[in-house]
Every structure is written in structure tokens, then in C-alpha cells.
């Protein structure tokens, strides 16, 4: 940096630190008299730990009450007491990012979970950024292979598309994400495990992702036992990492499991701050934070972020508030059906309830017609399934139903796939077109 540039920065240099003192701790929230700060700023709370002596606890400014600063800590509040010194940093949370992080598992602060130090030479980025300008987003006109027949064939995803995976618990969301992470042709995976059980983090990395998948992935984990703020920051940290690589021209695959738990964490914070519960207990801030998070992915003038967000639907209710909101923001949705899972069909994708809003614009006309034909036959069979099973339907009554009965096992076989199998998009499309033209598998 030149001397003239250094001179220009002199007025903005902080020559003194701003402090305050804790006056009250209520539940998840900490109230402090000072320091002067803004919402989103990170503060350091100086505590006297019985184990480690003097130490610092990071907290974020989440609101104000009169002249009181309301803070939420990133970690436990066990060591915090009345009168503890609060130091304002004057800046939001920042993390270190670079290619050296590929293959590592990080926490919500961007630090390695295994306790090792971060590599040197990393760039500093803020976790919260604005979405790209709509006019700078190139249109999506290329397909992205994910290696799953049901998706590549019937619900083709574009490079830079954002898709939701909707399902109840235990229907195979994490396993499907692992398949996509291993098989995708994207340059890099960024995987956010938000609100997962501690046991599931290692299981996902070793079983679902595997060594080959981890070599081209960065994993950010915030388990369910961590404070609500850490779970939210995990989602924003993963998104910021994906943005860093997108801005360097890469095609990034971002997978977040699950956005529902991000919403639940924001609800905890909103209720603690004093927001009124709006829809089914969710506070207004939940419905404002979701578009800010989800709109950051997609394309920009440098690269792309193709995103898969899982949505946990209570009682398989696809119209509950979070599912309904997320479905309205994203560019498509994949519904995992418990009935199909109970039949042993994996992945349990209900292609009749799922849609890719960009598929018709990025694949050939022949491909679209083949997918529509199979969907039509599958719908006809499902509509008449009860009559067929009880023997009330007689063959020859309807030509369409007769065809649907003939094709149903072939369509089901096409949609099935072992979780270790990798099928190329060209093979999936060829099988789909052959089947729609009357061929077998």
C-alpha cells in the first residue's frame, strides 16, 4: 500500500476502544450498559474463568432496550457475571477463507473443529453480505449433473439454481445430499450441517460423504446443542465461503441441512428479544432473514452457487409456514415421500409433487416430452391404484390405465437408485427417452 493510501485511512483508524459493563442476564440474553455499537457488531466479554483464568467470550449485538445493549453469546454464558467488561469491536463477524480449507470441517466461526490452527494466507470476509444485484445475475442456461437419475432425468437442475428438498424426519434427506455431493460435476461442495445431532455429523462425513466427497468439500457444522446464534451463523458462514469461491469463477455446490433449523434458531432469538410470535410461533424476523440468506446464492458475473436446502416438515405437512415460505423463494422443490420410502424406493422422490422451474429452459425438447410422458403415466397409475389393487379395474376398460399398469414397474425401476451408484446425466436421459418411446430398461 502506498503512503498516500495509508494517509487516507488515518481518519478511519480507531485510536481508542469502547467498553461497557454487564448489568443483567436473562435466559439467553445479556444486557449491558454500553459499549456504543450497532446491531450485528461482535463484542468481547472479558470473564474470569475458573479453568482457564482470564478469557474472552464473543457475543453479538441483537437489539437495544432504551439505552441498554442486548447481546447474545456465541458460546455458553456459564462464566458470565454482573459487572463483566464488554469490549466493542465495531465490526460484524469475520471469517478466514481460502483454498486451503478444502477437505476441512469447520465450526460456525470458521475454525477447524479438530482443534488445529487455520492455515496461513487466508482471506478475510464478512459472514453477512447483500445478495447480488438482480441485473448482474446471468440467466441460467446450463444443466448441472448431480448423478441421481430421478433428478437428472425428471427434475433437471441448472447451474446456479436453488432447490429445496422437502421431507419429514428419517426419509433420506442427508443420504440424498451425500449422493449429490459425491456425484456432482460442480467444482467444489460447501456443506452446512445446521442443528444436527452430534452423532450425525461424523456419520454424514464418513458414511454419506465419504473420503472422495470430503476431498472436494468444506463442511460447516453447528450441532443442536450449540446456542441459537451459532446455528444461525453456521448457515451464514457456509454461504460466505461459497460466495468467496463463486467470486473466483468457480461453480460451487452449497448444501444446507436444514434451513428449518436456521428458522427455529432465529425464532429463539426473536422471542428472547421480545418479538411477538406471528405464524405458528415464528416471529417476523424469521420471515425476513430467510430471503436474505437464500437470495445470496445463485449466479453472479463471476461464477455460480447451485444450492440444495433441506426443509424439515413437521408431520409431513408441506404447507407449514417455513416450507411454504422457502418454496416461494427457491427455483424448485424436491419432495421426499414417506410412503415411497416405506415401499423401499430410494431415493423416495415423489416426482408428481416435485418441480424444477428451470428444466424446460435448459434441456432439449425431446427430454421435456419424455419426462412429461412418464409423469403422465405415473399420475394415471397413482390415481387408479386403489381400484387396481382391490381388483375393481378390468383390463381393456381404459387404454391409458392399461398403459400405466404396464409402465409402472419400469418407471419405478428407473426412479430407484442405490446410494453408492453414480449414473451420468447422459445415461439417465437416454434411459428416460427410451422408456417414453416404449423401450424397456
Note the Cα 254 to chain centre separation in Å.
7
| CA distance linking residue 394 with residue 384, whole number of Å | 12
3-state secondary structure of 48: strand
| CATH number belonging to domain 366-437 | 1.20.1270.330
Geometric angle at alpha carbon 22, from 17 and 27, rounded to 5°: 135
Residues of the chain with CATH 2.40.10.170: 18-91
| CA distance linking residue 254 with residue 187, whole number of Å | 11
Whether residue 279 has pLDDT greater than 80: no
Beta pairing class for 29-33 and 18-26 = antiparallel
| CA distance linking residue 109 with residue 113, whole number of Å | 10
Note the Cα 389 to chain centre separation in Å.
40
100-145 per-position pLDDT tens digit = 999 999 999 999 988 788 888 899 999 988 898 989 899 999 999 9
Q: What is the pLDDT of residue 276?
A: 87
Classify residue 145 as exposed, middle or buried by CB count within 10 Å of its CB (0-12, 13-18, 19+): buried
Q: What is the pLDDT of residue 64?
A: 87
The kind and range of the H/E element at 26 are: strand 18-26
Range with lowest mean pLDDT among 24-38, 254-268, 390-404:
390-404
Average pLDDT over residues 223-246: 92
| CA distance linking residue 129 with residue 123, whole number of Å | 15
Average pLDDT over residues 243-263: 93
Q: What is the pLDDT of residue 98?
A: 93
Average pLDDT over residues 10-24: 75
| CA distance linking residue 265 with residue 229, whole number of Å | 7
Cis peptide before 258 (omega within 30 of 0): yes
281-324 per-position pLDDT tens digit = 889 999 999 999 999 999 999 999 999 999 988 766 677 889 99
| Domain at 95-361, CATH from 3.40.50.1820, 3.30.70.2740, 3.40.50.2030, 3.40.50.12240 | 3.40.50.12240
Whether residue 441 has pLDDT greater than 50: no
Geometric angle at alpha carbon 318, from 314 and 324, rounded to 5°: 105
Entry pTM: 0.89
Under the banding of pLDDT at 50, 70 and 90, the label for residue 241 is: very high
| CA distance linking residue 151 with residue 423, whole number of Å | 11
Smallest Cα–Cα separation from 418: which of 145, 143, 150?
150
33-48 per-position pLDDT tens digit = 988 888 889 999 998 8
| CA distance linking residue 162 with residue 5, whole number of Å | 41
Whether residue 1 has pLDDT greater than 70: no
Residues of the chain with CATH 1.20.1270.330: 366-437
Whether residue 2 has pLDDT greater than 70: no
Q: What is the pLDDT of residue 15?
A: 60
- For domain 18-91, is the CATH number 2.40.10.170? yes
**For residue 219, what are the contacts with CB-CB under 8 A and spacing of at least 6?**
104, 105, 106, 191, 192, 193, 205, 209
Amino acid at each position: 500500500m502506498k503512503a498516500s493510501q495509508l494517509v487516507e485511512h488515518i481518519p478511519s483508524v480507531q485510536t481508542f476502544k469502547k467498553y461497557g459493563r454487564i448489568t443483567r442476564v436473562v435466559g439467553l440474553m445479556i444486557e449491558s450498559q454500553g459499549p456504543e455499537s450497532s446491531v450485528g457488531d461482535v463484542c468481547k466479554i472479558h470473564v474470569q474463568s475458573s479453568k482457564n483464568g482470564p478469557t474472552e467470550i464473543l457475543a453479538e449485538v441483537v437489539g437495544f432496550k432504551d439505552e441498554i445493549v442486548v447481546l447474545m453469546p456465541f458460546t455458553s454464558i456459564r462464566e458470565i457475571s454482573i459487572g463483566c467488561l464488554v469490549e466493542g469491536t465495531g465490526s460484524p463477524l469475520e471469517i478466514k477463507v481460502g483454498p486451503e480449507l478444502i477437505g476441512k470441517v469447520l465450526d460456525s466461526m470458521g475454525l477447524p473443529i479438530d482443534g488445529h490452527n487455520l492455515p496461513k494466507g487466508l482471506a478475510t470476509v464478512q459472514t453477512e453480505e447483500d445478495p447480488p444485484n438482480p441485473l448482474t445475475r446471468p440467466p441460467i442456461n446450463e444443466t448441472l449433473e448431480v448423478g441421481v437419475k430421478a433428478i437428472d432425468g425428471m427434475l433437471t437442475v441448472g447451474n446456479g439454481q436453488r432447490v429445496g428438498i422437502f421431507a419429514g424426519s428419517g426419509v433420506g434427506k442427508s443420504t440424498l445430499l451425500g449422493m449429490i455431493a459425491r456425484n456432482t460435476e460442480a467444482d467444489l461442495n460447501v456443506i452446512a450441517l445446521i442443528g444436527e445431532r452430534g452423532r450425525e455429523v461424523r456419520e454424514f462425513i464418513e458414511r454419506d460423504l465419504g473420503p472422495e466427497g470430503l476431498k472436494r468439500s468444506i463442511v460447516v457444522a453447528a450441532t443442536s446443542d450449540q446456542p441459537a446464534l451459532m446455528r444461525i451463523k453456521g448457515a451464514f458462514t457456509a454461504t460466505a465461503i461459497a460466495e468467496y469461491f463463486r467470486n473466483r469463477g468457480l461453480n460451487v455446490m452449497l448444501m444446507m441441512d436444514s434451513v428449518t433449523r436456521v428458522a427455529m434458531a432465529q425464532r429463539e432469538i426473536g422471542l428472547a428479544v421480545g418479538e411477538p410470535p406471528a405464524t405458528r410461533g415464528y416471529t417476523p424476523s424469521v420471515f425476513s432473514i430467510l430471503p436474505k440468506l437464500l437470495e445470496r446464492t445463485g449466479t453472479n458475473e463471476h461464477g455460480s452457487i447451485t444450492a440444495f436446502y433441506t426443509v424439515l416438515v413437521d408431520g409431513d405437512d408441506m404447507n407449514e409456514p417455513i416450507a411454504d415460505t422457502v418454496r416461494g423463494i427457491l427455483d424448485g422443490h424436491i419432495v421426499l415421500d414417506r410412503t415411497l420410502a416405506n415401499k423401499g424406493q430410494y431415493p423416495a422422490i415423489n416426482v408428481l409433487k416435485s418441480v424444477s422451474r428451470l428444466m424446460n429452459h435448459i434441456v432439449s425438447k425431446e427430454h421435456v416430452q419424455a419426462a412429461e410422458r412418464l409423469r403422465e403415466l405415473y399420475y394415471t397409475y397413482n390415481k387408479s391404484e386403489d381400484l387396481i389393487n382391490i381388483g375393481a379395474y378390468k383390463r381393456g376398460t381404459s387404454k391409458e390405465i392399461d398403459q400405466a399398469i404396464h409402465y409402472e414397474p419400469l418407471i419405478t425401476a428407473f426412479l430407484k437408485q442405490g446410494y453408492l451408484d453414480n449414473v451420468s446425466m447422459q445415461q439417465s436421459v437416454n434411459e428416460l427417452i427410451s422408456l417414453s418411446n416404449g423401450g424397456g430398461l
